[in-house]
A and B are shown apart, each in its own frame.
Chain A
Amino acid sequence: MADFFSSMRVSASGLDAQMKRMNTISSNIANAETTGYRRKDAEFTATPDRESFGEILQNKVDESVQGVMVTDVREDEKPQRLVYKPDDPRANADGYIEMPNVNPVKEMADMISAQRSYEANITAIGAATQMANKALELGR
């Protein structure tokens, strides 16, 4: 049986996931010049919407409505950026220092994408709320 709160729970899980993604993006931008830092990426996984333990026990979980969860924050395996700075105390034998593999332009684009997805989830919650209010008006 469909209910209003299922839609809201799913959208809330989307808000939560996008927020966590935004946190990793901020961390990447803040540490764009920090030696030894590697770019981090939030990994999204779809998870069935579960209301209660009882539902899980009775295997009543509706697989067609899935929320989203950040299951892992992974480090980017791309090689670090080498910058030639022979005077720097951190430089290796050839005079290079390893800078993080963060591309600020990509991070900004990711940030906008996360922001738009967040807004889309907000709109979905708004739609569900509006529908619920309309249904309540029937009783007036």
Chain B
Amino acid sequence: MKGMFDPTISALRQNLNLRLENQNVISANIANADTPGYKARTANFEHALRDAMDTGADIKLDTGHVGHLGSPGIEDVKADVYDDPNGVESLDGNTVDRAAEMAKMKENEILYNASIESLRKKLGMLEYGISEGGGNK
């Protein structure tokens, strides 16, 4: 491990960014729950983040040439936002399921809070180390 901040911290940080993006997508769906023809969008990033954590942390592809493709790092993980394939079209062509969106929003919020808590613990431990165990944490 190099540096003070291990891959878990960057993964948590990236998770926070992606969960925020997910929150934006969900609130757009809720705002457009009555818009005729609107198609519900869904943001998918969990698999991409897990894959980046599996490969990106320890093994990096060597990129000595301009044409080489680097392995995606945790910071490069992007949310894949697409029209929800499970959406059922109502009479006006809208595919938003309000109850499902509310449930997704709550789930996203809880997982966001979980990441925040983990990040707090991680940073608290660093602080403890920096202050030679004498910190107030």
Contacts and interface: CB of A to CB of B under 8 A. Distances in A.
Interface of A: 1-4, 6-7, 10-11, 13-14, 17-18, 21, 43-46, 49, 64-68, 113-114, 116-117, 120-121, 123-125, 127-128, 130-131, 134-135, 137-138
A45 B35 CA distance: 6
B20 A138 contact: no
Contacts, number: 109
Nearest to B38: A46
B116 A117 contact: no
A11 B21 contact: no
Contact of A2 (B17, B34, B108): B17
A17 B36 CA distance: 13
* Chain B facing A: main interface SS: helix
Nearest to B43: A64
B48 interface: no
Contacts of B28: 10, 49, 64-67
A117 B18 CA distance: 25
A68 B32 contact: yes
Contacts of A131: 19-20, 23, 109, 112-113
Interface residues of B, number: 36
B88 to A, nearest CB: 18
B123 A14 contact: no
Interface string B35-59: 1101001010000000000000000
A127 to B, nearest CB: 5
A4 B16 CA distance: 11
Contacts of B105: 123-124, 127
Contact of A7 (B24, B32, B41): B24
B5 to A, nearest CB: 14
Given A2-B21, A138-B119, A128 B27 contact: yes
Contacts of B112: 131, 134
Given A2-B21, A2-B23, 11 more contacts: A6-B24, A17-B34, A44-B36, A117-B98, A120-B33, A120-B101, A123-B30, A124-B30, A131-B109, A134-B113, A137-B116
B102 interface: yes
Given A120-B98, A124-B105, A64 B34 contact: no
A131 B26 CA distance: 14
A60 to B, nearest CB: 14
A6 B28 CA distance: 9
